[in-house]
Structure 1
Amino acid sequence: MKFGDIIIALAIIGIIIIIIIPVPKGALDFLLSLNISISLLILLLAMYAEDALQISIFPSLLLITTLFRLSLNISTTRGILIDGDAGKVVETFGNFVIQGDPVVGFIIFFIIIIIQFLVITKGAERVAEVAARFTLDAMPGKQMAIDADLNSGLITEDEARKRRKEVQKYADFYGAMDGASKFVKGDAIAGIIITIVNIAAGFLIGIVGKGMGLSEALQRYTLLTVGDGLVGQIPALLISTATGLIVTRAASESNLGQDLIQQLFGNNPKLLYIIGGVIGSLGIITPLPTAVYLLLALVFIVAGYKIDKTVKEEFEEPVEEVSEAEELRKPENVLGLLKVDDIELEFGYGLIPLADINQGGDLLDRIVMIRRQIAMELGLVVPIVRLRDNIQLNPNEYIIKIKGVQVSKGEVYFDHYLAMDSGMGEGNIEGIDTIEPAFGLPAKWITEKEREKAEIFGYTVVDPPSVIATHLTEVIKEKAYELIGRQDVKMLVDNVKEEYPAVVEEVIPKVLSLGEIQKVLANLLREQISIRDMVTILETLADYGNVTRDADLLTEYVRQKMSGYITNKYVEDNSLNVVTLDSQVEEIIMNSINKTETGSYLSIEPNKAQVVLNNTFKTIQKLTSIGEQPIVLTAPIVRLYFKRLTEQMTRDIIVLSYNEIEPSVEVQSVGMVNI
């Protein structure tokens, strides 16, 4: 613990001790004066704070100062009732207010208590309660706004994280202030009760116990009670005012003093001339004190003149203007045009309501969920999706771009629903015939009236944002290998390094570079293999990186290490129906592999390649006809190259090697690819 921490801890313990142990009169005078000083400090801090979070400890401060004040009240009450003396500070405050008349002094003191309790404390308590409720109610909307700004590229991940933390802090602060304001209210009530006890008990003790006369006891104990009450209630009044200032502060970039001067006097100097004229007229025409009113009128008129002059000087300051043409000629203004967004979603003007939060659109929220879904499924942190309206597109059209290149497009109808026949549909429905963009299924755009009918007939019905979100998800999955760059790899590696530093230090940069690891990860994502288990991937690369630096071979080693994941991904009920390759086909492929310094590639004769592909598709139909996934099982050395060969026709065929399937799985061959 630091020295300051120890002092604070001891001070709080000391406050508790004061309640129990009698305090000498000199020390009590010091503590009462310290209490007033601390209250003034808190009031000034509240006035000059530009934001409530600058004094986020205010709720705890209320508790400590209230406890300190009550402990001093107990000490002064002990002195009043036992000795008839509570120190010089209490007596001085009492003499100053009473001015020799106990009744008038007590009435003045009672008015101060009423102001503190009924006006400031009650108001601050209510404002704190309302602020807490509205802050908590606004949290979901603020979080959604942050996510929307993040997805639209207006802020970075770090800025979003910082803003979310600020939203949470505001909620915590106002929630705590709602409860802490009860301390101030309780303190005011306790002050009233202590005052009544001091006068009643002191009066009895003075007459019965100390043999004072009636007037002497009344004078003595009223003086001490009023003095004690003022010494406690003045700091309470200051802190209540500070509480009110904190919870009533609206959004501003300056402190209360600057805001008051600027907003009361700085916006319109003519108002000060009018006020000066009215006040001066009242001083001349009415019996009101002429000198006082003329002086006030002069003050307002001079202030208005000064402010008016200042505003004109600021307005007339020469501003160095740069023409638009000159601005465009600057070389640095071209740099912003060079950036290519990783993912772009452009849509026609008819689809703008789907992305506009103010019009009830939730497309931005769906994109947030897409990023979470792909992170869970593939382990890839999807870059920010840039949303743009494009007037060159048809009103209902949208396009998806990856690295600035259009990769897919679709068309949706606002205020319609897409009804897809999943094979269970019975009956006809009216609508606009179309093709579902993500999976190419025949579908129809139907109205709200037809929706219930379509669902009864067994059609799958989805709304336009779901269509776009599903399409975007499939495109991102398909192009995931293009979206992962070296910077993304570094972020993933740094994430692993926090918990497994030894793994990362062994691989990078001793064995492989970031670029080589990126190629391996891209190969895995190309075939929809998750890279979420980065620890296993890096450990495998550490084992085989010294044997070969060929990214394709390293990918195969990683896939074999992830056999459990691959088996779980493709195998159901511990059995797998596959198509295998004839040994002659495997031999042709192995003999056609050419290895170079930069890697290896397949160089097969075109006519042989065509025969292999044709026979593959014919054999695959045996699997698809019974509703099975089109899976081809090959030898490990052949797998990658056969996959590259089939990708020339389609990417839907899954190619696995024997080493990627767990031994416990029952594999059944339903066909063989021959030459």
Structure 2
Amino acid sequence: MKARDFSVLFGVISIIIMLVIPLPGWLLSVLILINISLALIVILVSMNTTEALQFSVFPSLLLLLTLFRLGLNVSTTRSILSEADAGGVVETFGTFVIGDNPLVGFVVFVILVIIQFLVITKGSERVSEVAARFTLDAMPGKQMSIDADLNAGMINEQQAKDRREKIEHEADFYGAMDGASKFVKGDAIAGIIIVLINIIFGLIIGMAQLGLSFNEAIDIYMRLTVGDGLVSQIPALLISTATGIVVTRVASEGNLSADVTKQLLRYPTLLYIAGGTIFFLGLTPINFMLTTMIALVLIGSAYMLTRKSQVEEPPTPDEVDESESEEMKSPENVVGLINMDPIEFEFGYGLIPLADSNQGGDLLDRVVMIRRQLAIELGLVIPVVRIRDNIQLNPNEYRLKIKGNEVARGELLLDHYLAMSPGIEEDELEGIDTVEPAFGLPAKWITEDAKDDAEMSGYTVVDPPSVVSTHITELIKRFAHQLIGRQETQQLIDHLKESNPILVEEVTPEPLAVGDVQKVLAKLLREHVSIKNLPVIFETLADFAKMTSDTDLLTEYVRQSLSAQITNDIVQGRQQLKVITVSGEVEKLIAEHIQQTEHGSYLAMDPDTQQKVIQSVSENVENISLQEETPVILCSPTIRMYFKQLLDRFYPQVIVLSYNEIEPTAEIQSIGMVNVA
């Protein structure tokens, strides 16, 4: 069975459960609004069908809706009598009608019930009865007309068979409608009796058990009774009206679940109308969020149905076999469902002003500048950052996804500033303790009044948009190697080919495929080496790719060719570069434990030795961090990539350079050594 088949079966079972199990007020409100929505859809569909077969499921659907409404009546009656509460929708409807005078409000409600019972319900019952009688009486004449057309050659055997089946379906439909209308009449009578029960027994329970005065009891139970009656009688009135309209319909041979879900949603546009109606109900004191959610479900369903169906003309019988054959050959179009944005920035509703230009937000402009900045720094065209709100996040929370995976999240206070400590512990600043998201520094959220004092005390003060912009920038830098794939690599190659066609032809597609070039570029970006100098990179690949296809070794050769760039990025104007060197003993150990395979080489060092090396690195990194220096380890070219692999699991932020990657003009000072003592 399909999902839509189970949906109707589950609905019927849920109705039965409603008759037994008490339901909370909020759930009753949801079910009542669903009941009103279904009634609106039914009457709109009945008014827009042009043939009976288009809504042949109506008799059975009428019974289901009647049972659903009776289940709601039982649940609301239980809640009214036991808890004096049936949810916000019931109370709101009752308050509207009752107003300040319970008696006048009750009289108005009684008039509505009389109109529903005497005018609509009884009229629909009579119409259904007459239509069924006339249809049965006309059957012999219609059958003779079909036989005459067949004998005259005006129709063929198949057409005659189809017409006879249509006549039989019409007779079945009108007979079913005649019986179903009796249920509608019984439902109306039951609604009146339930109203009397709620009032009478409500007064008894309120005065005898709860100790309420007569006025208090009449005010509470009259309001709830009238509200309960209204939310039942309004859908019943709509259904009764639809019953009077749908008097020329024919029953179908399809199963009930398929007919309900298919025919009820035949006109997606009508769901927009129903959704809009429910939405405007939320402008009243009814729960706005509740009505808005239901309206969005209806409108979203209509949108999906419209895109899926596009209301195509049904194929002719001769075209059915051919179309089914073509459908078997063509795969289902699900491309739109598997698209994934490379970079997604999501935020809670409290941060909407960040991206809303009407509220002064400039996040979109900042993201454009970030992409331009990173293109210059990294040499990589950063994909478009998809910015969207997400109600599942906390109001002030945001998160960044790379290739669908969450890589970081943070929290902003839009009416505060982020103050980062200058390291003076004695200077206390009032604020909310937090951590700067990009670099993990201790910080405080302070109010605008404390901004000037913080700046005078040496704090670095930034506004929330700058905080999130910096965080996005650093995260994209950190995960840039995940953003460059073969497609992006091909774009870079095509761009380079415009100015250096011979160089590109010497590298790709032979001896290196696009995937090999992509691996080299990704390895460089992983260690924060810019790939903007593509000509030098390709020159090196052209020189060494004929000797080896190992992308790890090719990356090392490229790094050595980029020594000037790497040195400038590391030194950054400092007179001396303070580094940690690797002892000869450790280098020898690493060189001895390098394993060569046909798929490349890797480091296979025993755990105890690894632990000693890592412990020594940890002590040296801690010492250099106390001097507020960036941890840089210097070693020989032969072991650099293996030593980096060893540290990646423990200290991915530590920079590992070889002697060949440092320009001779750079002044180096060794302030530590890695050993295995």
Quick one: which amino acid aligns to residue 361 of structure 2?
A: G
Tell me which residue corresponds to 1:498: 498
Instruction: Give the superposition deviation at 1:325.
Output: 4.8
Q: 1:435 and 1:328 mapped to 2: Cα distance?
A: 47
- 3-state DSSP class of the match of 1:547? coil
Q: Which residue of 2 aligns with 1:356?
A: 356
Counterpart Cα distance in 1 of 2:626 and 2:428: 26
Residue in 2 aligned with 1:489? 489
Q: Which amino acid aligns with 1:518?
A: Q
Maintained 8 Å contact 1:425/1:459 = no
1:174-253 equivalent positions in 2, closer than 5 A: none
| Partner Cα separation in structure 2 for residue 428 and residue 630 of structure 1 | 30
User: What is aligned with 1:435?
Assistant: 435
One-letter identity of the residue aligned with 1:463: D
- 1:424–1:459 Cα contact (<8 Å) kept: no
Shift in CA distance, 425/371, structure 1 to aligned 2, threshold 3 Å:
farther
Alignment of 1:580-599 (within 5 A): 580-599=581-600
Residue 327 of structure 1: how far off its partner (Å): 5.2
What residue number does 2:514 align with?
514
For 1:484 and 1:399, locate their aligned partners in 2 and report how far apart those are by CA, in whole Å: 21
- Residue 407 of structure 1 aligns with which residue? 407
Q: Which secondary structure state, in structure 1, belongs to the residue aligned with residue 639 of structure 2?
A: helix
Q: Show the 5 A alignment for 1:28-43.
A: none
In structure 2, C-alpha distance between the alignment counterparts of 1:600 and 1:574, rounded to whole Å:
37
Identify the range of structure 1 (619-628 vs 460-469) with the bigger mean alpha-carbon deviation. Answer: 619-628
1:355, 1:362 within 8 Å by CA — same for their partners in 2? yes
1: CA distance, partners of 2:670 / 2:575 = 14
Q: 1:600 is paired with a residue of what secondary structure?
A: strand
CA offsets, 1:79-133, max 9 Å, x none? xxxxxxxxxxxxxxxxxxxxxxxxxxxxxxxxxxxxxxxxxxxxxxxxxxxxxxx
TM-superposed deviation, 1:441: 0.9
Which residue does 2:317 correspond to in 1? none
2:232 matched residue in structure 1: none
1:186-216 Cα distance to aligned partner (Å, 9 max, x none) = xxxxxxxxxxxxxxxxxxxxxxxxxxxxxxx
Equivalent-residue separation in structure 1 for 2:434 and 2:621 (angstroms): 28
SS at match of 1:445: strand
**What's the counterpart of residue 470 of structure 1?**
470
Mapping of 1:197-346 within 5 angstroms? 324-325=304-305, 328=308, 334-346=334-346
Change (3 A) 1:590 1:430: same
**Superposition pairs for residues 92-103 of structure 1, below 5 Å?**
none
Rounded Cα–Cα distance in structure 2 between residues aligned with 1:416 and 1:665: 43
**Equivalent in the alignment of 1:42:** none
1:662 aligned partner: 663
CA pair 437-497 structure 1, distance change in 2 beyond 3 A: same
Partner of 1:628: 629
- Whether contact under 8 Å (1:506, 1:542) holds in the other structure is yes
Contact persistence 1:503–1:538 (CA under 8 A): yes
- 1:426–1:639: structure 2 CA closer, same or farther, 3 Å change rule? same
1:317-349 superposed Cα distances (whole Å, 9 cap, x missing partner)? xxx967755855897563212011111111000
> Cα deviations across residues 409-443 of structure 1 (Å, max 9, x unaligned)?
10001121111113368733322111111111111
Corresponding residue for residue 366 of structure 1:
366
> What amino acid does structure 1 have at the position aligned with 2:612?
V
AA of the residue aligned to 2:549: R
Q: Deviations over 1:21-46 (max 9, x none)?
A: xxxxxxxxxxxxxxxxxxxxxxxxxx
Q: In the alignment, residue 542 of structure 1 is paired with which amino acid?
A: A
TM-score by length of 2: 0.51
For the structure 1 residues 606 and 540, does the alpha-carbon distance in structure 2 shift closer, same or farther, using more than 3 Å as the test?
A: same
Instruction: Give secondary structure in 2 for the equivalent of 1:585.
Output: helix
Identity of aligned residues (%): 56
Question: Where does structure 2 lack aligned partners over 5 or more consecutive residues?
Answer: 1-265, 269-301, 311-330
Q: Which amino acid counterpart does residue 513 of structure 1 have in structure 2?
A: A
Q: Which amino acid aligns with 2:670?
A: S
Cα-to-partner distance string for 1:528-560 (whole Å, 9 max, x where unaligned): 100000000001000000011111100000000
The AA in structure 1 aligned to 2:414 is: F
Q: Cα gap change, 1:467/1:574 in structure 2, threshold over 3 Å: closer, same or farther?
A: closer
CA drift of 1:460 comes to: 0.9
Aligned twin of 1:95: none
User: Aligned-pair distance for 1:573?
Assistant: 4.5
Instruction: Determine helix, strand or coil for the equivalent of 2:461.
Output: strand
For residue 495 of structure 2, give the secondary structure of its aligned residue in structure 1: helix
8 Å Cα contact 1:541-1:554 kept in structure 2 = yes
Aligned with 1:399: secondary structure?
strand
What residue identity is the alignment partner of 1:473?
Answer: T
2:392 alignment partner, SS class: coil
CA gap of 1:326–1:454, structure 2 versus 1, over 3 A, is closer
- Residue identity opposite 1:569 in structure 2: D
State the alpha-carbon separation in 2 of the partners of residues 357 and 424 from structure 1.
38
Aligned partners of 2:435 and 2:396: how far apart in 1? Answer: 14
Deviation at 1:444, TM superposition (A): 1.1
* Letter paired with 1:521: L
1:566 maps to: 566
Tell me the secondary structure at the aligned position of residue 376 of structure 1.
helix
Q: Secondary structure at the match of 1:589?
A: helix
CA distance in 1, matches of 2:457, 2:637: 47
Q: How does 1:150-189 map to 2 (within 5 A)?
A: none
- Per-residue deviation at 1:620? 2.6
Correspondence 1:14-163 to 2 at 5 A: none
- Quickly say closer, same or farther: Cα 1:433–1:575, change in 2 above 3 A: closer
Change (3 A) 1:332 1:353: farther
Q: Distance in 2 between matches of 1:444 and 1:577?
A: 31
- Give the distance between the partners of 2:407 and 2:607, measured in 1 at CA: 28
Cα contact 1:398–1:411 (8 A) shared by 2: yes
1:476/1:456 CA distance change after superposition, 3 Å:
same
| Alpha-carbon distance in 2 for matches of 1:495, 1:426 | 55
Q: Which aligned pairs between 1:610-629 and structure 2 lie closer than 5 A?
A: 610-629=611-630
**Distance 1:426-1:377 versus aligned 2 partners, 3 A rule:** farther
Q: Cα gap change, 1:426/1:366 in structure 2, threshold over 3 Å: closer, same or farther?
A: farther
Aligned to 1:644: 645
8 Å CA contact retained: 1:425, 1:457: no
1-structure distance, mates of 2:422, 2:526: 28
Q: Which residue of 2 aligns with 1:393?
A: 393
SS at match of 1:637: coil
Amino acid across the alignment from 2:366: R
Structure of higher CA gyration radius:
1
Q: Distance in 2 between matches of 1:613 and 1:329?
A: 62
User: Match of 1:276?
Assistant: none
Aligned length: 356
| Secondary structure, counterpart of 2:393 in structure 1 | coil
Q: Distance in 1 between matches of 2:419 and 2:309?
A: 52
Amino acid at match of 1:493: I
Determine whether 1:606 maps to 2:607.
yes
Q: Specify the code of the residue in structure 2 equivalent to 1:671.
A: G
- Separation of aligned partners in 1, 2:524 and 2:309: 45
Q: 1:235-277 CA deviation, whole Å, 9 max, x = no partner?
A: xxxxxxxxxxxxxxxxxxxxxxxxxxxxxxxxxxxxxxxxxxx
Q: Does the Cα contact within 8 Å between 1:426 and 1:458 map onto a contact in 2?
A: no
Contact 1:574–1:664 under 8 Å retained in 2: no
Q: Which residue of the partner structure matches residue 451 of structure 2?
A: 451
Q: Residue type matched to 2:542 in 1?
A: A
Q: State the 1:458 CA deviation.
A: 1.5
Distance 1:427 1:327, change over 3 A: same
Displacement, 1:668? 2.4
